[in-house]
Amino acid sequence: MNPELFPKFSEELEIVDNKMGEVQGVPLPEATCEIWEQIYNFQAREDDILISTYPKAGTTWMQEIVDLIMLDGDVKKSMRSPCFVKVPFIELYPKPMPSGVQAANAMESPRLLKTHLPTQLLPPSFWEKNVKVIYVARNMKDCMVSYFHFQRMNQALPHPGTWNEYFSKFTAGNVPWGGWFDHVIGWWKIKDKHQILFVFYEDIIEDPKREIRKISQFLGKELREEVLDTIQHHTSFSTMKENPMTNYSVLPSSVFDQSISPFMRKGKVGDWKNHFLVAQNIVFDEEYQKKMEGIGLNFRTEL
């Protein structure tokens, strides 16, 4: 990446604050809590598209897929700026940069937006305007592993501690943006009441073209086969890992220290097997079954 093109990120983002606060019991960055009223009163527009996820479920992947769908597969245009500039993160306030709300307000329609908020904290205007939402869900075990490494490298979030410590914190929902269960079940339960497309990370890994087609149809676009192929190629893990617009290499190491763990880390289903101890897996499966019983939501943890 040519740092001259994006000096802003390295110069302005030097001050990193990893303090957490909470809103209605959900742990969120302190800077987010400070401007919570502004975030909650955010004004959505009817033609917005919102990507909603629990952290590490495949947000960046979906951002790139949807951006390319909206651009009819124009890769050159999709490279216009880093993924976090193209797609405002509505509840983020990376001081001294503009908040996600300010960035979104300054954008022309149609806007592509991102959130990790659980349903109860989503600004109500998204429901009022009946905005199309793409919810990406990823199995809890792989989310936990990915989040553990992310909290190690992201200097704006609290340090995760050891893997064993993190296992307890994560399963108790004591991590930024709160618990996986509340988030995923909350969004699953309301999905038929609104324009929400529920997409599984594991399904995109299994057959990216099928899922890209499904997403484009949800957005009212019938794309030609060659365009679907282009989008599939440009959003593959190997391409996105090398792409400075998607691999977060434009951020300084004072924010994302990619020498600790890269943002585009492994991109696989089943990496949890390299982290979970046998005893942890037993405890996890028992608790998981209790919490998910009767919900009708099934995840694959291996392919």
Ligand X SMILES: Nc1ncnc2c1ncn2[C@@H]1O[C@H](COP(=O)(O)OS(=O)(=O)O)[C@@H](OP(=O)(O)O)[C@H]1O
**Hey, which residues are catalytic here?**
116
Report the residue number whose CB is nearest to ligand X. 267
Q: Are 64 and 77 in contact (CB under 8 A)?
A: no
Q: Is 266 in the site for ligand X (CB under 6 A)?
A: yes
Which listed range, 73-81, 182-190, 215-223, 229-237, lies at the site for ligand X (CB under 6 A)? 229-237
Amino acid at 255: V
Q: Pick from 32, 52, 235, 249 the residue near ligand X by CB under 6 A.
A: 235
Q: Is 146 in the site for ligand X (CB under 6 A)?
A: yes
Residues 148-177 that bind ligand X (CB under 6 A): 149-150
Determine how many CB atoms are found less than 10 A away from the CB of residue 101: 22
Q: Pick from 97, 197, 271, 281 the residue near ligand X by CB under 6 A.
A: 271
Q: Is 272 in the site for ligand X (CB under 6 A)?
A: no
Determine how many CB atoms are found less than 10 A away from the CB of residue 14: 11
DSSP-assigned letter for residue 231: H
**What is the C-alpha separation between 151 and 53, in angstroms, rounded?**
17
The token pair at 3 is 């740092």
The CA-atom distances, in angstroms, between 228 and each of 119, 214, 241, 246 are: 31, 11, 20, 19
Q: Report the run of H or E that residue 282 belongs to, with start and end.
A: helix 278-292
Which listed range, 21-29, 34-42, 142-150, 184-192, lies at the site for ligand X (CB under 6 A)? 142-150
Q: Report the run of H or E that residue 53 belongs to, with start and end.
A: strand 49-53
Q: How far is the CB of 297 from ligand X (least distance, A)?
A: 18
Residues 95-134 that bind ligand X (CB under 6 A): none
Site string for ligand X, 179-218 (x = CB under 6 A): ----------------------------------------
Residues 45-84 that bind ligand X (CB under 6 A): 53, 55-61
**Beta strand 112-115 with 49-53: parallel, antiparallel or unpaired?**
parallel
Q: Which positions touch ligand X (CB under 6 A)?
A: 53, 55-61, 142, 146, 149-150, 235-237, 240, 264-267, 271
